[in-house]
Amino acid sequence: MHKINDYTKSREYFIRAEKVIPSGIYGHQGPAEGCYIPIEAFPLFSERAQGSYIWDVDGNKFIDYMCAYGPNILGYNDPDVDEAAAKQRKKGDCTTLPSTKMIELAELLVDTVASADWAFFAKNGNDVTTLAIMTARAYTKRKKIIFFKGYYHGVSPWTQKIDYSGIIEEDIVNNIYLDWNDFQAVEEAFEKYKGQIAAVIGQPYMHGNFMDNQMPEKDFWQKVRKICTDNDTVLVIDDVRAGFRMDIAGSDHYFGFEADLICFCKALANGYNVSALCGKEFLKNTVSGMSYTGSYWLSAVPFAAAIACINKMKKINCPKILIEKGKMLKDGLIASANKYGYDLHVTGIESLFYLRIANDPSLMLHQEWIAECVKRGVFFTNHHNHFINASLTEKDIKQTVEIADEAFSVIKNRHS
């Protein structure tokens, strides 16, 4: 049997945190959002991280399949990325003029990403999804945006839901919500709102939370691409989460089409704080005409880190090895589940897998299994996709499957 974690210090720190921070920890990482159920199975504060592992404040070690919700793609504290960043830091980071690292990074993205003729840098995925929508509106002089239900494109008011706190009707009045993979609905929307649709925005496949992830149906993106082109509508791909985990040339390239605008963040610099909007030549002047900037957007250290990260990802063929590692884990987990009579659904690309025990529609059984994994040192979450990083070893994967197996046996015994 594997050791069961104790989280005493995490709880003590959380009591301190709640006094001075709204909800103690906000966002996905917080206990409020529903990724960490039951909360007693999860640690709340980290002490350190290295490669594929995090250690919490109680000294528990985890094989980390959340990878900081994406940024960790090469392994925490990757020596090549950290060295490039440290070298730049000695020269300067956030200064009055940009470093030429900005140019080098833009050139590298143009060389690497199929649909990139240029790059614009910011700090969050949200910054660049918002710039994409503003660019589409400026270019087309139209207002309406097509979304696919289950989407997540950041936290700006235009992309939130009307029943979310702080959102007003004006924020979302031009949004059209369609079902994923329903091209007929796309056609009908283009017909109904003829000449009014500024943009279609979508993730490369549906990797929403609380749902099995869904790949695009055959030719779905090709048909969406064509209807956008025919109607002078801007096609925006939000590759913030999947970027560099499917295809180094962009997830649109993986599916054989080209976006007009593509948004990157997370894996771009292995955790250094930078995001990028890339796009086609015909939109470059429109972006040049925008009023869009931020205090730290030209910081040189994250640019140096991103250059090192992209070069290393290309060198090791990162998406391919992440998918192979993910495949090995998926096979192991499914085989283990079968031993106990559980139907484990593993959906999405293997480097970005989503887990669900399908035997129990209430998801309680699934949550129990995840909890038993986490308590034994495998950091999964319940209703969010997971992330593979390049430093994950075959030994880590074997240990993960062993722990998952023990967790299956625990819930099997509990419910027999």
Residues 307-366 that bind a second copy (CB under 8 A): none
**Of 255, 340, 379, 408, which lies in the binding site for a second copy, with binding defined by CB under 8 A?**
379
Contact 202, 148 (CB under 8 A): yes
- Alpha-carbon distance of 201 to 411, in angstroms, equals 40
Region 104-133 residues binding a second copy, contact defined as CB under 8 A? 106-107, 109-110, 117-120, 123-127, 130, 133
Beta strand extents in 267-324 (DSSP E only): 275-279
The half-sphere exposure of 10 on its side-chain side, counting CA atoms within 13 A, is 20
3-state class (DSSP) for residue 63: strand
**Of 27, 59, 79, 195, which lies in the binding site for a second copy, with binding defined by CB under 8 A?**
27
Name the one range near a second copy by CB under 8 A: 66-74, 212-220, 230-238, 346-354: 66-74
Tell me if the bond preceding 302 is cis, omega within 30° of 0. Answer: no
Does 5 bind a second copy (CB under 8 A)? Our answer is no
Nearest to 105 by CA among 259, 271, 305, 336: 305
Least distance in angstroms from the C-beta of 62 to a second copy: 8
Region 195-224 residues binding a second copy, contact defined as CB under 8 A? none
Least distance in angstroms from the C-beta of 21 to a second copy: 5
Least distance in angstroms from the C-beta of 212 to a second copy: 22
**Of 40, 79, 87, 103, which lies in the binding site for a second copy, with binding defined by CB under 8 A?**
103
- Alpha-carbon distance of 274 to 301, in angstroms, equals 10
Beta carbon nearer to a second copy, 246 or 276: 276
- Alpha-carbon distance of 278 to 337, in angstroms, equals 41
DSSP 275-320: EEEEE-GGGHHHHHTS----TTTT-HHHHHHHHHHHHHHHHHTHHH
Distances (CA, A) of 312 to 81, 104, 325, 376: 8, 15, 17, 32
Does 68 bind a second copy (CB under 8 A)? Our answer is yes
Beta carbon nearer to a second copy, 32 or 215: 32
Does 75 bind a second copy (CB under 8 A)? Our answer is no
3-state class (DSSP) for residue 144: strand
Does 395 bind a second copy (CB under 8 A)? Our answer is no
Site string for a second copy, 230-269 (x = CB under 8 A): ----------x------------------------xx---
Name the one range near a second copy by CB under 8 A: 17-25, 225-233, 356-364, 400-408: 17-25
Least distance in angstroms from the C-beta of 398 to a second copy: 21
Beta carbon nearer to a second copy, 209 or 409: 209
Region 83-102 residues binding a second copy, contact defined as CB under 8 A? 89-100, 102
- Alpha-carbon distance of 110 to 250, in angstroms, equals 11
State the pairing for strand pair 46-50/344-347.
unpaired
DSSP, res 239: -
- Alpha-carbon distance of 118 to 286, in angstroms, equals 12
# chain residues binding a second copy, by CB under 8 A: 111
Beta carbon nearer to a second copy, 295 or 413: 295
Contact 293, 330 (CB under 8 A): no
Region 148-167 residues binding a second copy, contact defined as CB under 8 A? 154-158, 160, 164-167
Region 268-307 residues binding a second copy, contact defined as CB under 8 A? 271-273, 275, 284-300, 302
Beta carbon nearer to a second copy, 260 or 340: 260
Residue 174: CB atoms within 10 Å: 17
